[in-house]
Amino acid sequence: MPDNKHKVLFVCIHNSARSQMAEAFLRLHGGTAFEAESAGLEPGKLNPNVVAVMKEIGIDLTGKPTQAVNDLFHQGRQYDAVITVCDKEAAERCPIFPGRVKRIAWSFKDPSGFKGTQEEVLEHTRKVRDEIEVTIKDFIRQHLKDMVRQKYSEIALQDKATNQSSCCGSGCCSTEVYNIMSDDYSNLEGYDPNADLGLGCGLPTQFAKIKKGDVVVDLGSGAGNDCFIARAETGETGKVIGIDFTPAMITKARANAEQLGYNNVEFRQGDIEDMPLTSNKADVVVSNCVLNLVPNKHKVFSEISRILKPGGHFSISDIVLKGTLPDKWREVAELYAGCVSGAIQKNEYLSIIEEAGFVNIQIQKEKKIILPDDILGQYLTPEEVTAYSADDSRIESITVYGEKPAKDERNCCSPDSKCC
């Protein structure tokens, strides 16, 4: 299995507090996908207050050595990202490591500079600790998004022949995970072969109840496959808006719309965790095999609720899990970007929809996803492939429907108060 770990070095002046906390949090939250280290320009002793506040949350740094950045540099160590966590001085003095290293500068208060009683100093240190943890979690989410964007950019820029030759739909072997879940669109009205990159995992428009004149929003629209099907249903008087955060996908989708001569199909570049749309805009939201790729699924469903008109609805095809996946898959970028390892348990998925306030939630279709042996063989030993295949019902594609209440019932005081 290729080493896909993202190697990160945290740097500070003394490697005694902030860089150590950042390293510890990346190890904790980043799992096996990351390799974290920390070092200092003038390494000193680990700050005992930091050891104490980290212990309070179950992370034991006792006896952890500090190390010198220059030693790592002279050993020829390579990193994907070098992040300074104290001030400008660290950023300026940190050596330039070889390779294509992303340099990031964060700035947190220095715990060794806090004054006051011991309890006050500890309290300030806790604040820095918590701030670093939040920043690390954001960094992990951002990393996943960058990786997904890069993969889909490559797919968008590939010519159609290359795309199809890596796809089981064309009858050849399935060496890529991206194209193995898609349904056949070719008989649907509005189908545009140029927009069909084989990246879906269902047919969300089939259950979307799109009416003439509807405003339809497609989340993670890719090259526009579902948008053009939706356009056939909403007609000239409706509007279709596709949102995708990969610039190359947006370019491809716009070129397809232009070639088809549609002026009521629009593509907007943006993150569906923070949609570039005003509230209460859409009659229908559709999405095909995208939400599994998004780290904060709560945020996406709350955004769907925001952009839907009261009484509007969604139909979403996505990948969910019914059992556990092999642990080591979490570190495989291809399996995350390929819609497998970012998926969550089906029950959790449905709870998130409910928590976002949707009603009349229904699973319209379920489909078992069987990963072919040649794909499994890339990430598992032959024995593990046999064990995995013995229970191949762990990954499922579902098409789920839900409605935004016609009135915001959550704001009602009581059923008979007539206040809403």
Could you give the residue numbers annotated as active site? 12, 86, 94
3-state SS, residue 395: strand
Residue among 261, 280, 268 at smallest CA distance from 215: 280
**Burial (CB count within 10 angstroms: exposed 0-12, middle 13-18, buried 19+), residue 206:** middle
Question: Does 240 sit near ligand SAM (CB under 6 A)?
Answer: no
Of 157-165, 205-213, 265-273, 410-418, the window that binds ligand SAM (rule: CB under 6 A) is 265-273
3-state SS, residue 401: strand
In terms of CB distance, is 290 or 380 closer to ligand SAM? 290
Question: Does 271 sit near ligand SAM (CB under 6 A)?
Answer: yes
- Residue 341 DSSP label: T
Of 88-96, 284-292, 365-373, 406-414, the window that binds ligand SAM (rule: CB under 6 A) is 284-292
> Looking at 25, 79, 139, 245, which residue binds ligand SAM (CB under 6 A)?
245
Helix axes 118-157, 48-56, angle to 10 degrees: 70
Interacting positions 151-170 with ligand SAM (CB under 6 A): 152
> Looking at 21, 140, 167, 197, which residue binds ligand SAM (CB under 6 A)?
197
Question: Does 234 sit near ligand SAM (CB under 6 A)?
Answer: no
In terms of CB distance, is 20 or 234 closer to ligand SAM? 234
Instruction: Report the C-alpha gap between 197 and 194 in whole angstroms.
Output: 7
Q: What is the H or E stretch that residue 199 is in?
A: none
Residue among 335, 224, 225, 384 at smallest CA distance from 2: 335
Question: Does 202 sit near ligand SAM (CB under 6 A)?
Answer: no
In terms of CB distance, is 91 or 201 closer to ligand SAM? 201
**Burial (CB count within 10 angstroms: exposed 0-12, middle 13-18, buried 19+), residue 254:** middle
Rounded to a whole number of angstroms, the minimum distance from the CB of residue 244 to ligand SAM is: 4
Question: In angstroms, how far is CA 152 from the centroid of its own chain?
Answer: 12
Interacting positions 332-391 with ligand SAM (CB under 6 A): 339
Instruction: Report the C-alpha gap between 56 and 80 in whole angstroms.
Output: 31
Of 33-41, 131-139, 268-276, 342-350, the window that binds ligand SAM (rule: CB under 6 A) is 268-276
In terms of CB distance, is 20 or 246 closer to ligand SAM? 246
Question: Does 203 sit near ligand SAM (CB under 6 A)?
Answer: no
> Looking at 199, 203, 229, 356, which residue binds ligand SAM (CB under 6 A)?
199
- Do residues 182 and 199 touch, judged by C-beta distance below 8 A? yes
Of 36-44, 167-175, 214-222, 320-328, the window that binds ligand SAM (rule: CB under 6 A) is 214-222
Beta strand residue intervals within 85-233, DSSP E: 102-105, 215-219
The residues that touch ligand SAM, with contacts defined as CB under 6 A, are 145, 148, 152, 197, 199-200, 220-222, 225-226, 243-246, 249, 271-273, 288-290, 293-294, 339
